Chain A
Amino acid sequence: MSFGALHVARTGLDAQSFRMQVIANNLANVNTTGFKRDRANFETLSYQMMTQPGATSAADNRYATGLNLGTGVELAGTSRIDTQGSFAATGNALDMAIDGAGFFQVQMPDGRIGYTRAGNFDRAPDGTIVTSDGKPLIPQIQVPEDATGLSVGVDGTVSATVPGQSDAVELGRIELARFANPAGMQAIGDNMLVETAASGAPQVGAAGEEGRGSLRGGMLEGSNVNVVEELVDMIETQRAYEVNSKMIQATDEMMKNATQTL
């Protein structure tokens, strides 16, 4: 006697608990700058043919349909939902939000280039513009110590007033990267994504051109997590978990009755 139903229900429990983890991560990052929510994707496991359709059942009878039993469900992966987060004005000149597609490029300690939507940049002691955890923005831009009136234009130009000059001077220009398939990028933590074979090569250039979004200085892009949506998903997941554990309970009861009666 096979215990198929038990294992099938177990795959359901596993998948739902993974989904819960994804939802928990979305909710945990509800206030993370530039965070994009993930969605768990389920897929059915393969089917098992127990009885072939057309097989002889008895004498002249044949099975009309056969018996294909499913073996459950698994988490195929997660997909990032790249919708725009809402903007909030912060008044801090080095806070930037991308309005549209594109990513900031950041030099990572291991030599790779990280891509991020989180635009909460700071000025390092040596004057370079860095992320809040100190990774330098690419291309590197130096802000002189005595610069005042720092501003970021929609095309990415960073300008400031320096003593002795009446006009604002251009300090550099922020370039954005965009990808053919941003959903294919791999998240590595710290708000950072890296390119993969699936994402394609980055197309780097000025903000606001060739489909890249424009920059909004003094603003931050919030996460695109919708708390109500996540909570509804959470309830759905919880109930799905519950019915699968009911199934385990029922099958267990069947086995118990069998061992007691036989």
Chain B
Amino acid sequence: MDRVIYTSLTAMRGSMARQTAIANNLANVNTPGFRGEIAEAQTIWLQGSGVGGRAVSSEEVIGADMRSGAIAATGRDLDVAMRGDAMLVVQAPNGEEGYTRRGDLQVAASGLLTTGDGHPVQGAQGPITIPAADAIKIDEEGRVWVVPAGGDPENPQQVDRLRIASTAGSDIVKGLDGLFRVRSGGILPDDPEARLVTRSLEGSNVTATTALVEMIEASKSWDSQLKLIGDARDMDSATANLMQLPR
């Protein structure tokens, strides 16, 4: 039997993987700071005797779409959005440094300043702990100000400064925890010129219409592979008919 159906199968697997990636983009269409993923098929040439000229398909997520999402004012003091392509430095679950565009900060029970999904943000001296305070404010340069409990509201004190990294010229990749890291290891340089939009939040950069078109494309590619498998079956049965001994 011909191997055409196995070649088609690799493409079908790829279509389903791509559909899953698109479904994940669509599911996160409202997640703050989310970066959509781009899945693409890659060709893998088979080598060895009798398979020359044969290639199968393999689906890979080649990276994330790094365009900015829309920034909307929320009026919440701990919401920040990054201008340009700068990223907030946070601590990943494994202790490494990770980068995110997510700026809905909150104060955890321990006083630790974290992102909305619970990663501690990094200041100049490591994780930022907010003391008992009457008011917390983050300014455009990422400095965190508090009015200490019982202190003078006109005289806030600086606790730390959010570390904001520059991604310019670096190859960053999204890890399994959804945080970005430098592809070959290492850390991004801090960007002292980076500015924040305060009391605002950056949305997801997934465009629903684009994702829907990609979804239809992935479905159609699945269907055309199915058609090929169906055709291969018809050819096989036609061959079998030809070979049948006359009765």
Contacts and interface: CB of A to CB of B under 8 A. Distances in A.
A119 B104 CA distance: 30
B208 interface: yes
A81 B199 CA distance: 11
Interface in A144-171: none
B226 A262 contact: yes
Interface of B: 12-13, 15-17, 19-32, 34, 37, 39, 42, 44-48, 56, 58-63, 74-76, 104, 106-109, 111, 116-118, 130, 132-135, 147, 149-151, 153, 173-178, 208, 211-212, 215-216, 219, 222-223, 226-227, 229-230
Interface residues of A, number: 71
Interface in A1-55: 1-2, 4-6, 8-9, 11-12, 15-16, 19, 39, 41-44, 46-51
B135 to A, nearest CB: 7
Nearest to B28: A73
Nearest to A16: B30
Interface of A: 1-2, 4-6, 8-9, 11-12, 15-16, 19, 39, 41-44, 46-51, 57-59, 61, 63-73, 76, 79, 81, 83, 101, 178, 180-181, 183-184, 196-198, 200, 203, 210-211, 236-237, 239-240, 243-244, 246-247, 250-251, 253-254, 257-258, 261-262
B76 A81 contact: yes
Given A46-B177, A47-B176, A244 B12 contact: no
Contact of A181 (B21, B39, B107, B226): B107
A254 B147 contact: no
Given A4-B19, A79-B106, A203-B132, 6 more contacts: A44-B24, A81-B76, A198-B109, A211-B135, A250-B19, A250-B215
B132 A251 contact: no
A8 B31 CA distance: 14
Nearest to A50: B17
Contacts of B229: 261-262
A9 B208 CA distance: 13
Contacts of A44: 24, 28, 31, 34, 117, 178
A83 B173 CA distance: 37
A132 B48 CA distance: 84
B37 A43 contact: no
B20 A261 contact: no
Which secondary structure characterizes the binding site on chain B?
Answer: mixed
A52 B147 CA distance: 48
Contacts of A9: 23, 26-27
A180 B133 contact: yes
B60 A51 contact: yes
Nearest to B134: A211
Nearest to A13: B27
A210 B150 contact: yes
Given A44-B31, A72-B27, A79-B106, A180 B20 contact: no
B44 A57 contact: yes
B108 A198 contact: yes
A9 B218 CA distance: 15
Contact of A203 (B46, B62, B117, B149): B149
A69 B107 contact: no
A73 B108 CA distance: 21
B132 A200 contact: yes
A42 B208 CA distance: 17
Given A46-B177, A46-B178, A76-B117, A71 B24 contact: yes
Contacts of B133: 180
A261 B227 contact: yes
Point out which of A16, A44, A236 has the most chain B C-beta atoms below 10 A from its C-beta: A44
Contacts of B63: 65
A5 B178 contact: no
Nearest to B150: A210
A40 to B, nearest CB: 8
Contacts of B151: 211
A43 B223 contact: no
B134 to A, nearest CB: 3
The 9 closest A-B pairs by CB, nearest first: A12-B27, A70-B24, A211-B134, A43-B117, A8-B23, A4-B20, A198-B109, A5-B19, A42-B31
A243 to B, nearest CB: 5
11 contacts: A1-B13, A4-B16, A44-B31, A64-B60, A64-B62, A65-B173, A68-B37, A211-B147, A239-B208, A243-B208, A254-B223
